[in-house]
Chain A
Amino acid sequence: NAGVTQTPKFQVLKTGQSMTLQCAQDMNHNSMYWYRQDPGMGLRLIYYSASEGTTDKGEVPNGYNVSRLNKREFSLRLESAAPSQTSVYFCASWGRQGASGANVLTFGAGSRLTVL
């Protein structure tokens, strides 16, 4: 049971290049999320998908697009990368975890993106 898996772990881009961050979860959760983490800012929601077939903007969606490919996979795309998008990106899914069955947000290990 891998939980939430995201790739790549590291990426360096030049301004204007595009790339896609991939995320997959094996916990059968309906809802998936993309957050970015910047120093002193905590985690901020970029986009989320409440269920397969739906996506919605979060707090900081500008410059990003997402695709909920199926129940397991939720990708984040940067069409034209900018230095302001240098950050650590986390994918997460919301649902029951462990024997207690409590609903929690489970994160992937993160993708560190640098835009030059």
Chain B
Amino acid sequence: GQQLNQSPQSMFIQEGEDVSMNCTSSSIFNTWLWYKQEPGEGPVLLIALYKAGELTSNGRLTAQFGITRKDSFLNISASIPSDVGIYFCAGQPTNAGGTSYGKLTFGQGTILTVHP
């Protein structure tokens, strides 16, 4: 199946630092989604991107849909302790038809630890 390479695998940062993580694919996607998962919970959507080149912000979070449609990045500015969790990127293939909308390919996740 399609592969999504998410990096870094883990990050240990000090409170107040900025964070950047990215996902790359060998295939083109027409949608990129970024999720955050906290311990014992399901992934929660942070940002959704639907157009190549799109740059979207949600508070301290900013994500971009790469112009080649094969990559996306997520930035977190001025990190705080509650940013701790696992961040996943997910892509929807361009060949997705009416029955494939939710068949997302997920990255392996980035584990973020924030030290106060």
Contacts and interface: CB of A to CB of B under 8 A. Distances in A.
Interface of A: 4, 31-33, 35, 40-45, 48, 50-51, 54, 56, 58-59, 90, 92-94, 97, 102-110
Contact of B108 (A41, A104, A106): A41
B interface SS class: loop
B43 A42 contact: no
Interface stretch (B62-70, B71-79, B99-107): B99-107
Interface residues of B, number: 27
B50 A102 contact: yes
Can you list the 5 inter-chain pairs with the closest CB atoms, starting with the nearest?
Answer: A94-B102, A107-B42, A50-B99, A42-B106, A43-B106
Contact of A110 (B35, B42, B99, B103): B42
A42 B42 CA distance: 12
B112 interface: no
A42 B45 contact: no
Interface of B: 1, 4, 6, 9, 33, 35, 40-45, 48, 50, 88, 90, 98-104, 106-109
Contact of A90 (B1, B43, B45, B50): B43
A11 B7 CA distance: 32
A56 B98 CA distance: 13
A105 B108 contact: no
6 contacts: A41-B108, A42-B107, A42-B109, A50-B99, A104-B45, A104-B48
Contact of B88 (A42, A56, A102, A109): A42
